[in-house]
């Protein structure tokens, strides 16, 4: 058994987009992501255009570290997440930052597939 120690200050990969970024760290078979979005960020505007999708089709499992975000499912269901919330969100949703504080969350499921351009494929 060996030990792996990494930090988001030196991620393995960064996916940058307007008003946000998604940093990835790979630890063994697991990919962990950190999302950082500025006030005014909205998935359909700042990520969806590059992916070619009208709504996010990635399933997410994670935890909100700071800030607030509203998620609206394609069926119209809507909920707000804030610091300390642990979430599991299915595919088919839009989301946007609420308020003046940046939103930061950690993603333990779905990180590899998130925020890929329509010409990209998930990393190995």
pLDDT of residue 116: 74
CATH number, span 13-109: 2.60.120.10
pLDDT of residue 106: 98
Contact 39, 69 (CB under 8 A): no
pLDDT of residue 49: 86
Neighbouring C-beta atoms of residue 96, cutoff 10 Å: 19
DSSP labels for the chain? -------TTS-SEEEEETTEEEEEEEETTEEEEEEEE-TT-BHHHHTHHHHT-SSB---EEEEEEESEEEEEETTS-EEEEETT-EEEE-SSEEEEEESSSPEEEEEEESTTTTT--TT-----
pLDDT of residue 121: 45
pTM for the structure as a whole: 0.89
pLDDT in tens, the chain (124 residues): 688 899 999 999 999 999 999 999 999 899 999 999 999 999 999 999 888 888 999 999 999 999 999 999 999 999 999 999 999 999 999 999 999 999 999 999 999 988 776 555 443 3
Domain boundaries, the chain: 13-109
Q: Which of 32, 41, 54 is nearest to 114 (CA)?
A: 32
pLDDT of residue 42: 97
Contact 37, 102 (CB under 8 A): yes
C-alpha 97/C-alpha 111 separation (Å) is 19
């Amino acid at each position: 058994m060996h030990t792996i120690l990494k930090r988001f200050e030196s991620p393995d990969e960064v996916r940058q987009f307007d008003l946000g970024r998604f940093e990835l760290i790979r630890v063994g078979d697991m990919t962990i992501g950190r999302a950082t979005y500025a006030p005014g960020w909205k998935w359909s505007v700042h990520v969806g255009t590059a992916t070619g999708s009208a709504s996010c089709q990635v399933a997410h499992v994670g935890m909100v570290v700071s800030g607030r975000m509203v998620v609206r499912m394609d069926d119209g269901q809507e909920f707000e997440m804030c610091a300390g919330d642990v979430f599991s969100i299915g595919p088919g949703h839009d989301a946007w930052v609420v308020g003046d504080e940046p939103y930061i969350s950690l993603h333990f499921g779905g990180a590899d597939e998130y925020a890929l351009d329509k010409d990209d494929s998930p990393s190995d």
